[in-house]
Chains A and B, each alone.
Chain A
């Protein structure tokens, strides 16, 4: 077994990421179909995907030292989407791909201006939203304040708050990610 560890931003990495993008796209499109297993290949890279119970990929024996963690980041399946495992496939040998960036289908809520992020309307008040809350399109999720002007930031579409990317009182720049929403149609 070999492990494949690509340096950040190498051409190999771009190839891997584009193959992954194809695979993710197919996964979405094949949702609800009877396809159990498929593979995407390009050049030397191949990803095989098989339907199964949701489970993180167990690290291959001997692949690394640290228990439960692959050398360059998240286990692949964490980004591949629910209900999938990844079969072994790697450049000219078996092994496991790892990508540092998880695949993200979440909707980012972006800062519309430069200023300070506030999670509530006033200090001490209840936050507009917490992780896990469902929000509707147009619903205020936070405030970005600039020069004493409070600007309400709204959700662009319906969803569920998945993660807050900044903390109350943080400075943010234009289009900085404030939070992630899971899209409403799971």
Chain B
């Protein structure tokens, strides 16, 4: 097991990792930029190193400074969190070259999984269902037309190197295909430096369903069931749940097994998530794999009672998974609300600042993953996440009541600070949300249906 882990991240996830290290008896090193000098993880971790000014490019993303800090403190492993350098194969390689175990997959595996076209090809070979479409990148407009005639409209053109909702265009009519094909290729080149695109059938209003898995270095892989993350705005998740009420036990076992098989087939190690779209006929289609721990991992922890960050650390240290598939039982229902410093009445504009009042909720099965405290200032350089509020209850309706109760107790105030708490509570009260019939078009429709706000 590792002696010392450097946490190359900030905010709530850095604290999350530091807590897991403390429970495992591992020394933790927090890296911080100047404006994070008083952050929760800096206070909690065993050591801390100042790695740069506030701008992430000069601090959290500054590879020499991050590696320098790891070497300076004599750390034997590094946890990259999510975002930042967590899916950078070049960085993972540099860690390895410097004798630091990167807590995540091997660089070559990360690179394969990060290439959408390669990942789709590999996963299809492993038996995962895909939407009708291309595996190979589409080289010409003529090819695009050929593909369109076989798979039908609507379809979507996606950059191979894209992600996070960027670099994609939906085509509904054949007359738009040529134009949008050219546009997508040009954008892909400009933004991702890679003009390769692929085409697949487009589903209107699917449900975003993802499978959590962890693989160790001994050929074992376990799935921790699925999450439904359909409540999104502009491809940013707002509310996540586990499990999805739209999958039967049979479906979830089948897709879980396929997901693990697919991950093991590419030599994947560590925690990862396979993203699928679930259509209204109950068909799942593989979209992409995320080779890192995700923001919403707590909901999977709550329904399985497994600490996924500890599992990540264990498998990176060469230990086998602490559970077998048979050990992992799905119990109850968990919901997470991402409380952001954004003003829902002003199109979710950032509304950060110093928190004068910060009183998180408590109570049964009520979990708050946050780095905030009274007096903490949310800086403009990073994301606007204040806290993840997660609850568990035996059933989905009870979980909804519980998280609404918890949100009602959550006090966050500061000059100019606005949060998404009122928005979450309105969503939780919504009949469509309560019915569970939620797809990726939910937020847009919900907001369109809301009474207009006074200017």
Contacts and interface: CB of A to CB of B under 8 A. Distances in A.
Interface stretch (B57-65, B82-90, B147-155, B403-411): B57-65
Nearest to A149: B64
A171 B71 CA distance: 9
A173 B34 contact: no
Nearest to B37: A175
Contacts of B65: 113-115, 146, 174
B34 A114 contact: no
Contacts, number: 47
Best-surrounded residue of A113, A115, A171, A174 (most CB of chain B within 10 A): A174
Contacts of A140: none
A173 B50 CA distance: 6
A85 B34 CA distance: 38
Summarize B's interface: helix, strand, loop or mixed. helix
A176 B65 CA distance: 13
Contacts of A113: 52, 62, 64-65, 68
A109 B398 CA distance: 59
B349 to A, nearest CB: 31
A137 interface: no
B8 to A, nearest CB: 12
B50 A176 contact: yes
Interface residues of B, number: 18
B130 interface: no
A115 to B, nearest CB: 5
Nearest to B32: A174
A53 interface: no
9 contacts: A113-B52, A113-B64, A114-B51, A114-B52, A114-B64, A146-B67, A173-B49, A173-B72, A174-B34
A115 B71 CA distance: 9
Nearest to A176: B50
A175 B69 CA distance: 13
Interface in A98-129: 113-115
Nearest to A148: B64
Interface string B251-289: 000000000000000000000000000000000000000
A70 to B, nearest CB: 32
A113 B52 CA distance: 7
Interface in B40-96: 49-53, 59, 62-69, 71-72, 94
A150 to B, nearest CB: 12
Interface string B132-152: 000000000000000000000
